[in-house]
Amino acid sequence: MKKLIALTLVTLSVAVSARAQWIVYDPTMNMQQIMAQAQNIAKYIQMIQNQVQQIQTLTDQLNEFKHYESLFGDPKAVVLTTVQPLVTDLRKTELGQTLTALEGAVDAGHAMLYDANGLFSSIGTTFNTPNGATVTRREATYLPVAAVQKTTDNFLSVSTDATTRRIALKEEIARTTTALKNATTDAEVQKLTGVLIGLSSALNNTDFEINQATASALVQDVANRNDAQRQIDAKKEQQHAEFTEAVQKYGQTFRLMNAPTAFPTP
């Protein structure tokens, strides 16, 4: 308001000095025009001041963001070398197979020749009798054995792969932990913490893979034992029925004499 009054007085002084030039104008109308112009100028000045204040506010906010970035760091600028090994491990196809797949791939011939890399002795697909005859082994007998061999090989494959991966993952965990110790910004700390959690989860996953492979071998062994007992019980039941039938047939064929033998008199 003070600025408006001052501007009005200045305008009036100018108008008085130049009064000789306005003799054709109405003084009242001229004064209203001067006041209106002064108000417009005052509003313009106020608008400029508001814009200056807004610019100052934005400048303060930008400086605050820069200060925050200097303290916590720019997440986009943090590049971690331990991320790619983690992604590679997570995208790797698991070597372990399901029990259904393992049972569907059994090969009795392979079971006869299996030696576990020299640990066992192969029995071969044929054998010779004492008289020199060559006998081919029955494949159906060795199918359960082939299933156990498949699950055993699956366990060994998974265990070997998991051991190699565990060594690599533990090395990456050590590197990430060292980088986390030397981190200078909050953004770097947060990213490294996320990677460290991912590496730890991948390391735990190797244990789950080994456990799954172990469970497949154990379940197959239990199934084989159960089937072996089933075969024994079935054989006993069959033998009992055959024996009962043989006794009945024998009794019908060979009847016991329950009357004394009569000899002819001389």
What does the pLDDT look like over 232-247, one tens digit per residue? 888 888 888 888 888 7
Mean pLDDT of 181-190: 83
Mean pLDDT of 239-257: 74
Q: At what angle do helices 27-72 and 186-253 cross, to 10 degrees?
A: 50
SS3 135: strand
CA dist., res. 237 & res. 239, Å (int): 6
Instruction: Read off the tokens for 132.
Output: 């020199």
Per-residue pLDDT of 99-144, as tens digits, reads 888 888 888 888 888 888 888 888 888 988 888 889 998 888 888 9
User: How crowded is residue 69: how many other Cβ atoms within 10 Å of its Cβ?
Assistant: 14
Q: What pLDDT, on a 0 to 100 scale, did the predictor assign at position 231? A: 82
Q: At what angle do helices 139-181 and 186-253 cross, to 10 degrees?
A: 170
CA dist., res. 227 & res. 143, Å (int): 12
Assess contact for 168 and 206: CB atoms under 8 A: no
> CA 120, 139, 114: angle at the middle one, nearest 5?
20
Q: What pLDDT, on a 0 to 100 scale, did the predictor assign at position 95? A: 80
Per-residue pLDDT of 39-84, as tens digits, reads 778 777 888 888 878 877 777 676 665 655 555 556 666 667 777 8
Residue 162 pLDDT level (bands cut at 50, 70, 90): very high
Residue 180 pLDDT level (bands cut at 50, 70, 90): confident
CA dist., res. 262 & res. 13, Å (int): 177
